Amino acid sequence: MPTEKLFYVNQYQTEATATVLSCTPDGDRWRVTLDRTVFYPTGGGQPCDLGTLGDSQVVDVSEHEGEVLHLCDKPLPVGETVACRIDWARRFSLMQQHSGEHIVSGIIHERFGYDNVGFHMGSETITIDYSGEITPEELRQIEQAANEAIWKNVGTEIFFPDAQTLAALPYRSKKALSGAVRIVRFPGLDICACCGLHVARTGEIGLVKLLSVTRFHAGSRIELLCGGRALDYLSAIYDQNREISALLSAKPLETASAAARLKDELSAAQYRITQLENEVFARKAQAFAGKGDVLLFETAMQPGAVRRLADAVLSVCGGRCAVFAGADGAYQYAIGTREGDLRGLCRAMNDALRGRGGGKPGFVQGSVSASRLEIESFFANENR
């Protein structure tokens, strides 16, 4: 028996009483049908409502042939009256996202002629896929237009036109629809076939923030947030920026240039460190000139520096050079040779010294979890 859908009569109704018509077990849950409901089932791109039926939590709501199925965590007595209550904050947010999506899609359709070819209302952000390419500059213009439309606070119109009226109506729709078509119109902005729930006036959307546009298949994917979700996201970004602002001693609107400056300074410092290290390594290497195989221990260094030191010694020692940088329990290594293949030695060493790494025949690099004593003993005992 089809359920009476109170959400289509008044999308702001959060509570109702209803009679339990059936309650059947479904795994460790119960599937409950009612004579009427305020719970919107998943459909038309809009996630379902959550809430309570009596003291039972509603964890999912779906629709099958006009009947709304409430998936509950506790059974309900058939024939009894039960109080239905939806999570209004969730529902209102979904209405804000859904109406915002229609307005953005309407603006894009009007300006560029692109169709909405995919829509996903996730728990974090909303994504909409369009059939054409949208540039970041166009994204800003669309966002501006969408917010201006919201500020006009136009009333939403929902109606079921007869076949003749429908045929003359320039509405957006993803698929061919049969039966009575429910039209959602934001006057002057968008007309679309939709079974979802919407705010009564655009002003309730509050805010639309278009977060990104990326190429997607032959078109674009836009990521957006509306209403409370947009405010929460922008507040989180604001808090981040405030911390960055304090860390960089930069004004809130100048953090990007301050971060860019810092990055440049860091690159210059890293370049200078490498230059100085190379000078030190070259001097250090001189002590091993003509010494043949060398085993060298150093304090912790970046893997790149370990490699450069091994190279510097290798260029003068006339044998194999192994550099271990770090402390007991955690050494980075770089080993080079001018002849032969180090990879067998490297595998044996990784096995013996709890290490990882590898490389080319003439050069291997990695790390071991061993003490200096264990490393020295490994090299003293190895078969050359």
Give me the residues that bind Zn ion (CB under 5 A), please.
Answer: 194, 196
What is the closest distance, in whole angstroms, from the C-beta atom of residue 109 to Zn ion in the complex?
A: 13
363-368 β-sheet, strand order: 292-298, 318-327, 330-336, 363-368, 355-360
What is the closest distance, in whole angstroms, from the C-beta atom of residue 9 to Zn ion in the complex?
A: 18
Place of tokens 């709890």: 354
CA distance 244 to 236: 12
What is the closest distance, in whole angstroms, from the C-beta atom of residue 195 to Zn ion in the complex?
A: 7
Q: Which residue is nearest to Zn ion (CB)?
A: 194
Tokens for 226, please give them: 């509306």
Question: Which 8-state DSSP code applies to residue 338?
Answer: S
What is the closest distance, in whole angstroms, from the C-beta atom of residue 264 to Zn ion in the complex?
A: 47
Question: Which 8-state DSSP code applies to residue 152?
Answer: T
Nearer of residues 38 and 194 to Zn ion, judged by Cβ: 194
What is the closest distance, in whole angstroms, from the C-beta atom of residue 192 to Zn ion in the complex?
A: 6
Nearer of residues 194 and 250 to Zn ion, judged by Cβ: 194
* 323, 309 Cβ separation under 8 angstroms: yes
Nearer of residues 196 and 357 to Zn ion, judged by Cβ: 196
Place of tokens 């076949």: 163
What is the closest distance, in whole angstroms, from the C-beta atom of residue 44 to Zn ion in the complex?
A: 5
CA distance 31 to 314: 74
Nearer of residues 196 and 206 to Zn ion, judged by Cβ: 196
Q: What is residue 11's three-state secondary structure?
A: coil
Nearer of residues 82 and 194 to Zn ion, judged by Cβ: 194
Nearer of residues 196 and 227 to Zn ion, judged by Cβ: 196
CA distance 191 to 189: 7
Handedness of CA 314, 317, 319, 322 (dihedral sign): negative
